[in-house]
Amino acid sequence: MSPPNSRQLPRLVYIGEVPIRNISAGPALLFRLLESYPADKLLVLESDHNKADPATELPQVPTQKFSLLTDRLLRSRLARLASVWVYLNAARQGRKTVSRLQAFGAEAILSVTHGYGAHAAAAAANAAGVPLHLLAHDDWAGTLNLPLKLRPRADREFGQLYRNATARMPVSPAMEESYARQYKARGTIIYPSRARDCVKLVRPRLRRPNAGEFVFAYAGSAPSIGQRRTLIDFANTVAPLGVKLRVYQALSMENLRREGLRSDNLEIAAFRPVAELHEDLINRADAMYLPMSFAPEDEANVRLCFPSKLADYTVVGLPILVRSPIFGTATRWAKENPGAALLVTDDDASTLVSAVRTLVEDPERRESLARAALETGEAMFGHAQVSKLFQAQLIAARAHR
């Protein structure tokens, strides 16, 4: 696919509650997707509950605030009531941005289906008479805190919002298929992107670990108890093998102990910028651990949401161990890309031990898995490839107006 002509790209306004930041998780996904977009054609309108952080925002791109939610109330005893108020008022707050859209000369609106921001963006796009483009990275229903009686209405309104969007860009095949069945509208899959300035390896730079010092690394968020249990269970299970788990996430060791950690082989590493993270993984880890939760309450997320950490895992040229339920998106990725990861699809300790032993004891298998992960990652998550596909969606929508 040839690079899109920047003159064909619309003047684009992002409206949402997820900030665009070069940090981690959702903010980083948005940053990477937009860091190659022409800065003079981009405006960011983010919810005013986010603090400004010029050091991690898109350079030379104006970032403004609009009223949407109060983070303090959404974390208080009144959270459910506050959520209802935000949900019912999101469209009104979106319409209030129209004068700023007109001043910028907006030709398209971009939003992400997380929380209430997409509803504000849809109302703004409708009022301004410009197309709405939707990124779907999270299962939208899981990001709302609405009472049961409001959820059928929310689902109907989300379905209408999704169908009416000019471009629908879900993050995984499973999400695209599920939303197509449920909301009767197809989408184009946009995988998470690697950073533009990430490490670029031609071949793996695997260490030669000493006996009893084999290090697995986990880099990513762990917001649910079920996801944290995947780390705790791993550490407890592999401790007798002399294997360590290095976790790049601001977790509390005290909380992990309270949730079941019994071993002393889990280490918490401080957050660092992506380039430093990649170098640290290459120099200090022997394999990457990619689990998805087996907890029943996390099933929807596991079925639909793609593990965006794969974009970074595949950069560093290390073998990847995927441990995920059979229905998980990580399982599907591993099966559709044979050789790119070692796959475990149950939570049985003996199966996990067997897989870990394979990686610890077989350097040729580690090398093979690492090479395949590098190649697959570049093809699927390479910054240039993902940016071209995303920008092509915007240009196609503009051409058909």
More confident residue, 258 or 23: 258
Q: Do 367 and 387 lie in a common domain? A: no
β-strand pairing of 243-248 with 214-219: parallel
How far apart are alpha carbons 20 and 43 in whole angstroms? 11
Q: Does residue 1 have a pLDDT over 60?
A: no
- pLDDT for the residue numbered 56: 87
pLDDT band for position 81 (50/70/90)? confident
Tokens of 314: 């595949």
Q: How far apart are CA 104 and CA 201, in angstroms?
A: 40
Residue 202 lies in a domain: no
Q: Is the pLDDT of residue 376 over 80?
A: yes
The per-residue pLDDT for 75 is 66
Residue pair 379/190 in contact (Cβ under 8 Å)? The answer is no
Measured CA to CA, the distance from residue 329 to residue 367 in angstroms comes to: 24
Judge if 40 and 161 occupy the same domain.
Answer: yes
Predicted local distance difference test score (pLDDT) of residue 249: 87
Q: Looking at the predicted structure, is the pLDDT value of residue 127 above 60?
A: yes
Is 158 part of a structural domain of the chain?
yes
349: its two tokens: 């300790």
Considering the domain architecture, whether residues 105 and 233 belong to the same structural domain is answered as: no
Task: Render pLDDT for 280-293 as a digit per residue (tens, 0 to 9).
Answer: 999 999 999 999 99
Q: Which of 69-83, 144-158, 229-243 has the weakest average pLDDT?
A: 69-83
Domain count, the chain: 2
Structure token pair of residue 81: 């009531």
Question: What is the spatial distance between Cα 279 and Cα 198, in angstroms, rounded to a whole number?
Answer: 10
1 found inside a domain: no
Is there a single domain that holds both residue 250 and residue 101? no
Residue 72's pLDDT band, with cuts at 50, 70 and 90, is low
β-bridge mates for residue 112, sequence order: 135
Residue-averaged pLDDT of the chain: 91
Per residue in 181-222, pLDDT (tens digit) is: 999 999 999 999 999 988 889 899 998 887 778 999 999 888
* Claim to verify: residue 139 and residue 248 sit in the same structural domain: no
How many CB atoms lie under 10 A from the CB of residue 156? 11
pLDDT given for residue 223 in this prediction: 82
pLDDT at 26: 82
Kindly state whether residues 29 and 106 are assigned to the same domain. Answer: yes
**Residue-level pLDDT at 99:** 94
CATH number of the domain encompassing residue 303: 3.40.50.2000
On the question of pLDDT at 6 being above 90, the answer is no
- The pLDDT assigned to 243 comes to 96
The pLDDT confidence band at residue 265, using thresholds 50, 70 and 90, is: very high
pLDDT value of residue 280? 94
**Dist CA 94 CA 46 (whole Å):** 11
Strand order in the sheet with 243-248: 266-269, 243-248, 214-219, 287-291, 320-323, 342-344
pLDDT of residue 209: 85
Strand partners, 293: none
If asked whether residues 374 and 393 sit together in one domain, one would say no
pLDDT per position as a tens digit, 317-353: 999 999 999 999 999 999 999 999 999 999 999 999 9
Is 129 found in the same domain as 236? no
Q: Residues 309, 364: one domain?
A: yes
Q: Span 251-271, mean pLDDT?
A: 93
Query: Rounded to an integer, what distance in angstroms lies between the CA atom of residue 316 and that of residue 28?
Result: 18
- Alpha-carbon distance of 25 to 22, in angstroms, equals 9
Which two structure tokens, joined as six digits, stand for 87? 């949900």
CA distance 261 to 272: 25
- The answer to whether residue 115 is domain-embedded is yes
Do 133 and 269 lie in one domain? The reply is no
Do 106 and 239 reside in the same domain of the chain? no
- Give domain status of residue 209, yes or no: no
Instruction: Please indicate, yes or no, if residue 164 is contained in any of the structural domains.
Output: yes
Pick from 98-112, 168-182, 201-215, 232-246: least confident:
201-215
Quick check: is 205 in a domain?
A: no
The closest of 369, 380, 387, 379 to 308, measured between CA atoms, is 380
Helix (H) or strand (E) holding 372: helix 363-381
Is position 171 within any domain? yes
pLDDT score, position 74:
61
DSSP 8-state secondary structure symbol assigned to residue 127: H
Confidence grade of residue 22 (pLDDT, cut at 50, 70, 90) = confident
Note down the domain range covering 65: 6-193+382-399
Which H or E run includes 12?
Answer: strand 12-16
108/76 Cα distance (integer angstroms): 35
Cα distance between residue 232 and residue 224, in whole Å: 13
Residue with the larger pLDDT of the pair 57 and 319:
319
Residues 26 and 58 in one domain: yes
* pLDDT number for residue 2: 54
Place of tokens 């952080």: 53
Whole-number pLDDT of residue 45:
96
